[in-house]
Every structure is written in C-alpha cells, then in structure tokens.
Amino acid sequence: MVNYYRDIKEKPVEGAYGTHIRWLITPRTGAKNFAMRYFRIEPNGASPLHSHPYEHEVFVLKGKGELLVGKETALSKESAVRKENISEGYFGLIEENEVHQFKNTGEKDLEFLCIIPIKEENIPEEEKNV
C-alpha cells in the first residue's frame, strides 16, 4: 500500500486546540503492530497535557513548537515536565505514561508524524480491521 498524505481525510482532534489528524497507516489498511498518524497543529494551537499507557514515536516535519514531556508525579503534572524545542528533523520517544503536550509556537503550522502501538483502545472504530 502506497498513498499520499494529502489524499487522507484530515479530522479535528477532540479535546485539543487547532489540532488535526490524518490516520495514514492503520489496521484498516493492513497494519498489525503500529499505526502512523500525521498531525497538524495551527499557530497557537496545542494538544492537552495528558498521558496514556502507550508510547509515541514522533518525527517533526514542518514548523516550530514546544514539546512538554516528563514523568507524572504525585505533586502536579506541570512540575515534572521538561520543555523541548522542536522543529523539522527533531524526533522523540514519549514513553508510556509520560505526560506530554505539543504546542505550536511558530507562525506556520506545526506538522509531525506520531506512531503508536496498535491497541484496542487507541484505534478509532473506523480504522480497525473489521
């Protein structure tokens, strides 16, 4: 399967600001172990500071932003995170249960790939292999 990313429908990410997702490679298109998604965050947009029990592998394609990431502590989420500046060519591993947030701090869209392991709970119904 080969395709072009703009031929995949972009959808808003609920609970995030100015953030959009394309599900590029998923169980529906044959993936068995991990899924590739393409994110676009508008200027001033951000994902919420959140965590989940699976990892992200990220590669930044365009734009400039900040990635907040760290281990969650009993004190507060904010106290535990560090801030990483990201732009084209930066990549990262966000480990399972690490809190994290993407912010666009530039004047153009921030675009990046985000790969996740395929689990029952993190694949939308329409992207499952049914």
Nearer to a second copy, 16 or 67 (CB): 67
Task: Determine which residue in the list 86, 110, 114, 123 makes contact with a second copy, applying CB under 8 A.
Answer: 86
Task: Determine which residue in the list 53, 89, 120, 121 makes contact with a second copy, applying CB under 8 A.
Answer: 89
Burial of 61 (0-12, 13-18, 19+ CB in 10 A): middle
Task: Tell me: does residue 34 bind a second copy (CB under 8 A).
Answer: yes
The footprint of a second copy on residues 53-72 (CB under 8 A) is 55, 57, 59, 61, 67, 69
Nearer to a second copy, 15 or 30 (CB): 30
Q: How far apart are CA 126 and CA 22, in angstroms?
A: 12
What's the sign of the alpha-carbon dihedral 124, 21, 96, 17? negative
Residues that bind a second copy (CB under 8 A): 1-6, 24-25, 29-34, 36, 55, 57, 59, 61, 67, 69, 84, 86, 89-93, 95-96, 113, 115, 117
